Amino acid sequence: VDQHDSAFDRGTAVEARGDGRYAATLGESWTIGPGRPNGGYLLAVLGRAALARAAAEGADHPHVLAANVQYVSSPSTGPAVVDTEVLRIGRTASQLRARLVVDGRPAVEALLTTGRLAEGTDPWWGAVPPVALPAEEACRRLPSMSPDGEERPSIRDVAAVRFDPACLGFLDGRPDGSAELRGWFRFADDAPVSPLALLFVVDAFPPATFALARTGWVPTLDLTAYVRAVPVPGPLRMRFRARVVHDGFVDEVAEVWDAADRLVAQSTQLAAMRIPPGVDPPDPVPPGGPEA
């Protein structure tokens, strides 16, 4: 599949409407609940609009380097607009705001930094070794998580995510207490993962708290993503970890490596986490937590 005819590129396409406004269509294939687009997908749509705006302003900044996003309301699929504002066009990097508006309501607000990532370079220095994983064939796709068991379009149709079976105890009601999900990512159509698509990848896993305890959904309040390099062709590896659960909030960190073992994307998010009465943490922990 050519990158410019991939499901991702079609699903995140935007069209200039003038005055920094871009039109988009939020696709059914990018949902996690009935008709509810995935947060990483929405961020990628905002990123696409920000890149179009930066280009329209004459910036040679074809990549989103950093993105902060607040999920304000959960939009429906269908027509949407993205309003962009240029904060600064710089030499190394440019800074923009973008807002996704659906049915006249703000749905997602983002701050984006754009620039140019070199291709084929290695890190100058790094302290984040790649996650160890069984072979992709030995990893498992998740069964449908839809509450009523009905099969609907969802990101499972476009994202082929395979998890290390060792972290999937939660599927049988036995979270392993590690608060860590690990797995492989590739697009179902085998399209190359562009730097822009990494904004989708960092939010393509279920909450890492699934591997900690049985709780309800864990809605993201605030997400930050950094894109560090252009991935080489091949499947990506991802690790998604919860760090601290305190007073109804949890922070989760994602790291993504390409087939050349390079860290290509990172994210951190703060999510609300309601813990049902009677659910205890997996281990008694000292105030500061166990050794990481």
- Give the residues lining the site for its own copies (CB under 8 A): 65-66, 68, 70, 72-73, 87-88, 92-93, 95, 97, 106, 109, 111, 113, 117-118, 121-130, 179, 212-213, 221-222, 224, 226, 228-229, 241-249, 251, 257, 260-263, 266, 268, 270, 272, 275, 281-282, 285-292
| Strand ordering across the sheet containing 94-102 | 14-18, 21-26, 78-89, 94-102, 105-115, 63-71, 220-227, 263-272, 249-257
**Nearest distance from C-beta of residue 121 to its own copies, angstroms:** 6
Cβ-based nearer residue to its own copies, 13 or 66:
66
All residues at 6 or more sequence positions from 44 whose CB lies less than 8 Å from its CB, including other chains: 8, 12, 196, 197, 199, 200
All residues at 6 or more sequence positions from 103 whose CB lies less than 8 Å from its CB, including other chains: 75, 76
Cβ-based nearer residue to its own copies, 135 or 285:
285
Cβ-based nearer residue to its own copies, 55 or 259:
259
**Nearest distance from C-beta of residue 66 to its own copies, angstroms:** 4
Cβ-based nearer residue to its own copies, 123 or 190:
123
Cβ-based nearer residue to its own copies, 25 or 70:
70
What the block records as the tokens of 24 is 């988009």
Integer angstrom CA distances of residue 136 from 22, 64, 71, 188, 202: 38, 28, 32, 14, 18
- Distance between CA atoms of residues 201 and 254, nearest Å: 10
**Nearest distance from C-beta of residue 143 to its own copies, angstroms:** 26
Give exposure, 236-249, as e/b (b: 16+ Cβ within 10 Å): bbbbbbbeebeeee
**Nearest distance from C-beta of residue 1 to its own copies, angstroms:** 27
**Nearest distance from C-beta of residue 79 to its own copies, angstroms:** 21
**Nearest distance from C-beta of residue 110 to its own copies, angstroms:** 8
Cβ-based nearer residue to its own copies, 36 or 140:
36
- Distance between CA atoms of residues 2 and 24, nearest Å: 21
